[in-house]
Every structure is written in structure tokens, then in C-alpha cells.
Amino acid sequence: MDNGVGTATLLELVHAFRQLSVEEHLWHPGASIVFASWSGEEFGKIGSTEFLEQFGGELRGRAVAYVNVDAPVRGDHALYVAASPLAKSAIYASARAVPCPSPAHGSSKEDGGGGGVHSMYDQWLEADAGPDVRPRVNYLNFHSDTMGFFLEGGITSISPSYR
């Protein structure tokens, strides 16, 4: 299930980006976006390691971030994010800008929501406030594809999921 959900999510992201930029002309990225999928994580991160070995030099010079959507949905409670420290402010800003998708925590009762929590950030804060009264951004998992990009490539890495 792990790679199936991640692949389905990746394909939906590709579709959404295409729809926004090509079909609806609402947004155009300021730089190239590479969508990639590989296998072999369970056997030693073979696919991502091979990708990094082949394109590492170019990625180190041009990549802004690596976003891992390997296992993006593990429940329906709240956002969970593991990331390199440089990504924290962008993660918080993005979570504040995204409306909460959960019917129990939606933005208004008229829309079928609970009326209390308005954004992903609000729901995340309610579920997991850290010691500095902000939601916790966790350390990256050493067993994930993010580690090669972060440690070997020096690329800011993010692994979001809904748990």
C-alpha cells in the first residue's frame, strides 16, 4: 500500500500542476519542476540513490527542495511533517494558506465543517503543538528516500503526511 498511495498522490499532483499551468493558465512555475517515482526503497533506497548518483551534480546546483510523497496518507487526524530545518517557515506558511479538508474541522458549518478550525495549520496546531506553541516539524527519517537528498545532496527535504 505504501508505494501505491504515494504513486497515486504523485499522479494527482502532476494532474493538478498541469491543470493550473497549462489548461487554466492560472499559474506558471518560476522554475522547472521534476516529478519522479522510483522503487527499491525497502531494499536500500536503490531507486532514489541511483537517481541521485546520476543527477546529483545538477541537483546540488539547481534543486530548491525534495518533497517525498511516499506515504502521504496514514490516517485522517492531522498533518504530520518531517523536514530539514530550512523548510520550517515555508511549511508553516503553506499550512496556513491551505483550507482544512477534514469535515470535522472544516472552515464553516455551512460547508459541512465543524466551524472551529480554518486551515491545515490550525488543525495541525490543535493536534500537535510543540514546546514553542507551534506545530512540531519532525526530524527526517533515516529510513526514507529523503535522507540521500538531504545528506548526500545537501537539498532541503520535506516529507509531509496526513495521520
List of residues 6+ apart from 146 with CB closer than 8 A: 66, 68, 82, 140, 157, 158, 159
CA–CA distance, 118 with 139 (Å, rounded to integer): 26
Give CATH for domain 2-162.
3.40.630.10
Q: Which residues have C-beta within 8 Å of that of residue 136, sequence separation ≥ 6?
A: 128, 129, 130
Distance, CA of 60 to CA of 69 (rounded, Å): 20
Consecutive 10-residue averages of pLDDT for the chain (163 residues): 79 93 88 86 78 93 92 82 95 93 57 63 83 84 85 92 86
Q: Supply the residues annotated as catalytic.
A: 41
